[in-house]
């Protein structure tokens, strides 16, 4: 467990760079920036804890497979109920780790100094794509090195642990012992699973290290919100194409993509309300009020839609499209107003 850094307002006042070489003089802004950084570090530490538990659980699963010389049918024959319980535990721990990251993704992915970790952990493409590549290689316990394999949460571990990638299914198995074969009932590749789980812990710690030395500043705060808020339409698009709408097993099977949207947009709101609002409200309180109302409207739409889905309501593709368009319209209005505030305050939006 990491020791939390002591972030004193007096100390921050000397190091929080605002708009290039100018320094923050407003106490509310300094406290807000401090609050965002500590919020991110707190959830990052929880991510590390959950990733470590996940790594231990996958290691225990891999140990059973190894004890049967990598023979998955033999391992299942001897330890079926144990393996089934371990897979359920792995999935639970994965969800807890993923949700910790989603809570801070809207902040991490929007800050230039930490954006690379979002590509590695959650959003990056494999090296076979042309853009947004997750820049890392994955070394597995058997020594195999996977070059630029894609992001760890949704690109590797989620499809692996839920049996979405046929090539990584080692044995079809009746995990719940009901005599039927349902999607996701299988034993997964222990070598890939352990390597990916170890990598999650490693990169979560690397994120914490870089976030700890990040000097919160006005330019980064504005850049983060302007960068991440407009992505809401893309997330709704992923929700529309998932099994929660189409009924077809594809990406994002562990939970509804709306849960992720709620966390990501919540992070954007956190950054604005804590770190940017003090700047905007000082000179243009009406604009600040309108931006805050926009975020409340956006989060209300996401939360209401997610609540309806959890209660059992089924959405069609057209309705999902309409909701995504509505969310995108709200986000675009928010960003337009924040850009106006950035211009008024001579903020440099970093590309």
pLDDT single digits (tens) 149-183: 999 999 999 999 999 888 999 999 999 988 888 88
SS3 per-residue string spanning 56-68: HHHHHHHHHHHHC
Residues 153 and 226 in one domain: no
* Residue 80 placed within a domain: yes
- Please tell me the pTM assigned to this model: 0.87
Q: Judge whether 306 lies within some domain.
A: yes
Smallest CA-to-CA distance from 200 within 235, 167, 170, 155 is with: 155
Single residue among 215, 240, 266 that ends a domain in this structure: 215
Q: Are residues 191 and 321 in the same domain?
A: no
- Quote the distance between the C-alpha of residue 204 and its chain's center: 11
**What are the tens digits of pLDDT across the range 245-261?**
655 555 677 778 888 88
Task: Based on the fold, state whether residues 164 and 225 are members of the same structural domain.
Answer: no
Q: Does residue 68 sit in the same domain as residue 134?
A: yes
CA 41, distance to chain mean position in Å, is 14
Show Cβ contacts of residue 257 under 8 Å, excluding neighbours closer than 6 positions.
235, 236, 238, 239, 242, 244
3-state secondary structure of 170: strand
Euclidean distance between CA atoms 181 and 148, whole angstroms: 33
The secondary structure element, H or E, covering residue 171 is: strand 169-172
Q: Is the pLDDT of residue 193 over 90?
A: yes
User: Does 179 share its domain with 235?
Assistant: no
Domain with 63 in it: 27-215
Listed in sequence order, the residues at least 6 apart from 131 whose beta carbon sits closer than 8 Å to its beta carbon are 125
């Amino acid at each position: 467990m990491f020791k939390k850094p002591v972030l004193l307002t007096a100390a921050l006042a000397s190091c929080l760079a605002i708009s290039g070489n100018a320094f923050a003089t407003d106490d509310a802004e300094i406290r807000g920036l401090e609050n965002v950084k500590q919020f991110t570090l707190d959830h990052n530490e929880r991510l590390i804890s959950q990733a470590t538990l996940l790594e231990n659980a996958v290691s225990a699963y891999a140990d059973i497979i190894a004890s049967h010389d990598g023979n998955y049918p033999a391992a299942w024959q001897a330890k079926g109920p144990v393996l089934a319980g371990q897979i359920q535990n792995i999935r639970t721990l994965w969800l807890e780790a993923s949700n910790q990251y989603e809570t801070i993704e809207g902040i991490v992915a929007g800050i230039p100094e930490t954006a690379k970790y979002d590509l590695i952990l959650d959003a990056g493409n494999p090296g076979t794509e042309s853009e947004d590549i997750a820049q890392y290689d994955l070394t597995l316990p058997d020594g195999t090195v996977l070059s630029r394999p894609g992001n760890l949460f949704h690109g590797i571990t989620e499809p692996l642990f839920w049996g979405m990638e046929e090539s990584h299914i080692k044995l079809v198995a009746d995990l719940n012992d009901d005599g039927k074969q349902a999607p996701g009932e299988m034993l997964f590749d222990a070598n890939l699973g352990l390597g990916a789980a170890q990598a999650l812990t490693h990169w979560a710690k690397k994120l914490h290290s870089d976030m700890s030395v990040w000097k919160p500043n006005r330019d980064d705060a504005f850049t983060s919100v302007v960068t991440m808020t407009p992505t809401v339409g893309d997330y709704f698009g992923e929700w529309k194409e998932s099994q929660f709408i189409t009924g077809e097993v594809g990406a994002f099977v562990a939970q509804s993509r709306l849960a992720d949207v709620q966390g990501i947009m919540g992070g954007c709101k956190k950054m604005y309300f804590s770190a940017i609002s003090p700047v905007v409200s000082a000179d243009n309180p009406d604009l600040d009020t309108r931006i805050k109302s926009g975020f409340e409207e956006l989060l209300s739409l996401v939360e209401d839609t997610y609540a309806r889905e959890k209660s059992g309501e089924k959405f069609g593709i057209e309705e999902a499209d309409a909701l995504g368009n509505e969310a995108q319209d709200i986000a675009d209005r928010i960003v337009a107003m924040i850009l106006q505030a950035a211009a008024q305050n001579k903020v440099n939006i970093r590309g």
